[in-house]
Amino acid sequence: MTTTRNAFAEVTVYHAVADSTFLCDWVANEHLDGHDWCPTVLEPGDDYTVIAVDGHTEARYCPGCGYQLFGVSTLEPASPANTSPTAA
């Protein structure tokens, strides 16, 4: 794993390797209605980028389009948003 560190922002960029198959968020989420979509499928062994701030993983980015994969910092798909009327 290679890292690049920006000491001013305490941001570290990791070049990580996928250990499972997953899709770019533009394919797996609700971005298909009239929008372009990213056909990237990461397979085990593919490189991708991880962004860490102050030692905590904040995001992962698709090597195909640069979009944040799944919107979370792990390889798990994001859970559906709470859309109930009581959600604040």
∠64-83-56 over CA atoms, to 5°? 50
3-state secondary structure the chain: CEEEEECCCCEEEEEEECCCCEECHHHHCCCCCCCCCCCCEECCCCEEEEEEECCEEEEEECCCCCCECCCCCCCCCCCCCCCCCCCC
Please state whether the predicted TM-score (pTM) of the whole model is above 0.85.
no
Segment 14-35, tens digit of pLDDT: 888 888 887 776 654 555 555 5
Q: Is 17 part of any domain?
A: yes
Q: Is 85 part of any domain?
A: no
Segment 33-85, tens digit of pLDDT: 555 667 778 888 988 888 888 777 777 777 877 766 644 444 444 344 444 45
Query: Can you give the residue range of the structural domain that contains 38?
Result: 2-61
Q: Is 52 part of any domain?
A: yes
Q: Is 75 part of any domain?
A: no
